[in-house]
Structure 1
Amino acid sequence: MDGTWSPINASPIATLTITGEKVTTTGRLACPGAISEIGSRHPVITMSCAGGAHADRKRGAVIVLDPGSLAINWEGPAWGGLVDSLRRRSEARSAAAALTLPRCPGWRGRLVCRAAAPLAVGEEH
């Protein structure tokens, strides 16, 4: 789980970095924390924000969806707390790049661009 993660949802966390048992966040929720139960099915992140700020994201269970993405289910009232979905930093950037519009000669507001050559199903260009 070590690495830097970026949320893909609206979140006060800009980045979440896990190094061993240490957790740090940047953004509006910028504070240190710890991760425990690392070898378990659902490791637990506990944030230590100054003055009790961000109480809605104080303790949460980590669910590893795949090697490049995870979710944190933060503890909350009886119906459950907030959820943050994150991707490894390098994968978050490449996912954002995949969403950018292609640069096409003579773009001028056209809705589609023609590929230089037809692509087979499942092929990337």
Structure 2
Amino acid sequence: MKKFGLLVAGGIAAIIVLSSIGPMVGLVVGLAILYFIFKQFLKTDSTGGKIVLGIIGFFVLMASIHNAPAIIGVLAAYVLYLVYKNWNSSKKAFVKEDSDPFVNFEKQWNEINK
């Protein structure tokens, strides 16, 4: 039953990731361009250059904000990673010899009979 739940969660996450690849790429490209504009803005000494870079940076920021649904795609990719990670991990209950009361009883009985 656990594998079925993981399969369903992984399938839904995969569909979400595939449907949001475009916004994720757009967000990454927009943020990379915005980073380089900001670096140039800090290097520029002229006021006109700073105004032009500020306007361009504003438009790139607005374009990046339109790709905000990509955050849902990133979360779905993380869920897909967790499903992949937990697919073959099964928690087995191991019983230690010390915690089994019958093993302790047999040890104590053998000590008494010696």
- TM-score when normalising by structure 1: 0.24
The structure whose residues are more often helix, as a share, is: 2
- Structure showing greater radius of gyration is 2
